[in-house]
A = this chain, B = another copy of it.
Amino acid sequence: MAEHIHPIFERLVSRVERERFLAQRSCTVWLTGLSGSGKSTIAQHLERRLFDRGFFAQVLDGDNIRTGLNSNLGFSPEDRMENIRRIAEVARLYTQSGIIAICSFISPTRAMRAMARRIVGPADFVEVFVDTPLELCEQRDVKGLYARARRGEIKGFTGIDAPYEAPEQPEVHLPTEGHSVEESVEMLLQHLLPRIQPL
């Protein structure tokens, strides 16, 4: 068997080859913000807009991560860090595969996001602060979680009895108040296009 083995560097399909195949440059778009800030909606619309323009992206969010890879994690501080660590590792794999990973997770602390940035690689990490005021998130309360947190039925809920540390220097700052989803997605898209278009 050994005599026919090609050198490893010829054999492995490189990230550059993959990016060329997909006619894009990959990165990880990391959306952080309060529960109900609109992160996942923006993530999904972004994925659709990118796809319709010929880009290949994948949303990673609670729906496909908490139910699968991270189904054995709870909500202790350790488990929350491990949750983000695994997500960042998967985002890294996708990015190395030449695919644009769009991650939508509250990721409330600077330490969490710094870890994610380190794992993905700083050059590939685009932090997006989905900046929606707490009052607005709580008013909407799509999933009824804020009401439950206020009644004390959920402990350690970000914005209520656990802090949200806003990003200090996100690559993209998206204030959503007074903007439609379309407007927010368009703003994000315009920021991303120069860095995902093939050279």
**Is A182's CB under 8 angstroms from B4's CB?**
yes
**Is B4's CB under 8 angstroms from A44's CB?**
no
Instruction: Give the size range of A's interface with the partner.
Output: 35 or more
Say which residue of B44, B69, B92 sits within 8 Å of A12 (CB atoms): B44
The complex places the Cα of A181 from the Cα of B134 at a distance, in Å, of 59
A96 and B38 in contact, given A140-B2, A180-B1 (Cβ under 8 angstroms): no
The complex places the Cα of A93 from the Cα of B67 at a distance, in Å, of 12
- 0/1 per residue, A153-194, Cβ < 8 Å to B? 000000000000000000000001001111000000000000
A48 contacts the other chain (CB 8 A): yes
**Is A69's CB under 8 angstroms from B89's CB?**
yes
Q: How many copies, total?
A: 2
Taking CB atoms, residues of chain B closer than 8 Å to A84 are none
Taking CB atoms, residues of chain B closer than 8 Å to A51 are 13, 17, 21
A99 contacts the other chain (CB 8 A): yes
**Is B48's CB under 8 angstroms from A1's CB?**
no
Closest 4 CB pairs of A and B: A69-B89, A68-B89, A11-B44, A4-B180
A-B CB contact pairs (8 Å), 11 listed: A1-B179, A10-B48, A17-B51, A21-B51, A60-B93, A64-B93, A68-B92, A68-B93, A86-B86, A90-B93, A99-B99
